[in-house]
Amino acid sequence: MAVKNITMPQLGESVTEGTISKWLVAPGDEVKKYDPLAEVLTDKVTAEIPSSFSGIVKEIIALEDETLAVGEVICTIDTQEGGAGEELPEVATVKAEGVATFDERSAGTHADKINNPNKARYSPAVLRMAQEYDIDLDQVEGTGLEGRITRKDLQKLIDAGKIPTKPETSDQPKQKVVSANHGFAYQPAHVPVLPGDTVIPITPIRRTIAENMVRSKQEIPHAWMMVEVDVTGLVQFRNSIKDEFKLKEGFNLTYFAFFVKAVAQALREYPMINSVWAGDTIVQKKDINLSIAVASEDVLYVPVIKNADEQSIKGIAKEIVGLANKARNGRLRTDDIQGGTFTVNNTGSFGSVQSMGIINHPQAAILQIESIVKRPVILKNGGIAPRDIVNLCLSMDHRVLDGLVCGNFLKRVKEILENISKENTSVY
């Protein structure tokens, strides 16, 4: 028999951790290769972790509701394969003098616990919360397996306002808290809870979204542009065929599909917009994979329409419906949220007419499609007529892009949209 490790997979390019929401197996269970072991939750996707081996589940290391970094061991499996098993990673430890760093591993072997009885095991998520809220873990009683401290233990203390802290000494000045996950400075606010206030616990998804947004705003120098587009022809064309389309195809033909197609076409003509920041380089992506924002009850997912420039309006409309249904039903797969090169956000669905989106790191831009509104417009012949107008709002990474290329890109999107009509546009 050989002991094999199952680790937290990377469920998306920018995903650095995942939360075990439910175990589907227990120690002693027999599993086959590809059998689901656990359900994992990230800010982008809910997915099942399959077994990489056939064998017997030996040890469940990660607890339910515990958040672990990508690559950390979540369980071990006894297999029938010969040879020595993989070594488990080192544990994160707490000694008398202080807390171990975040990037040390949380999982450990039984031998490690026996040989080092004074060391405690903490997951990176627990260590991060302890650092953010200045919690003295020595004073916390864990409710997890073998007395381990979980995120729920810390959240309960935070919500109750009973945070055990280490006494400050003159030779130990209080330091600014820094997230080891991304390197940006982050000092949580300590807000007094008054009678009648409602305390809403921060979910793993909401915390990850918040961190990603702070990272984007702090790392990316955002600039912003907006153009006004007359989409009267688009509205008339879509309204003239939407009922027949729904009857024939079985799903709705939305305005958003037309916008996504126009953006994909313009990106092909202005490929610099379709770039990502890579530290010392800028990578101009060959494929045009459009991330679209999809909201469920309290979570925003960003699935990806792959090779959008090669698809028809009908194909894009079908992708939008399919990805939205998957997101709202918690059925997005890893492949559904990977590979995005540019984000299109349908803020108009909420009635918004002007907004500035936060760029989806490490992409170089995000486009907000606002609400289509009827407005009186002065025509070229001097007359006034009601027209359907929409604002397109572009946020750009000024390290990668400048006003010239972004202005030309928006001008081209505007041109494409204003020329959509029954005479010169096909949805197939």
Any idea which residues carry the catalytic annotation? 398, 402
Closest CA to 1 of 43, 56, 51: 56
Q: For residues 358 and 395, give the distance between their C-alpha atoms in angstroms, rounded to a whole number.
A: 7
∠315-320-322 over CA atoms, to 5°? 95
Residue 399, classed as helix, strand or coil, is coil
DSSP annotation string for 98-132: EEPPTTS-----HHHHHH-TT-----HHHHHHHHH
List the Cα angle 121/116/136 in 5-degree steps: 40
- Cβ neighbours of residue 179 under 8 Å, at least 6 residues apart? 128, 132, 185, 186, 211
Compute the distance between CA of residue 164 and CA of residue 115 in angstroms, rounded to an integer.
29
Q: Which DSSP helix (H) or strand (E) runs through 284?
A: strand 282-284
Rounded distance, CA 76 to CA 7, Å? 9
CA–CA distance from 229 to each of 161, 168, 201, 256, 414 (Å)? 51, 59, 42, 14, 6
- Copy the structure tokens of residue 372: 């289509």
In the structure encoding, which two tokens stand for residue 370, read together?
């606002």
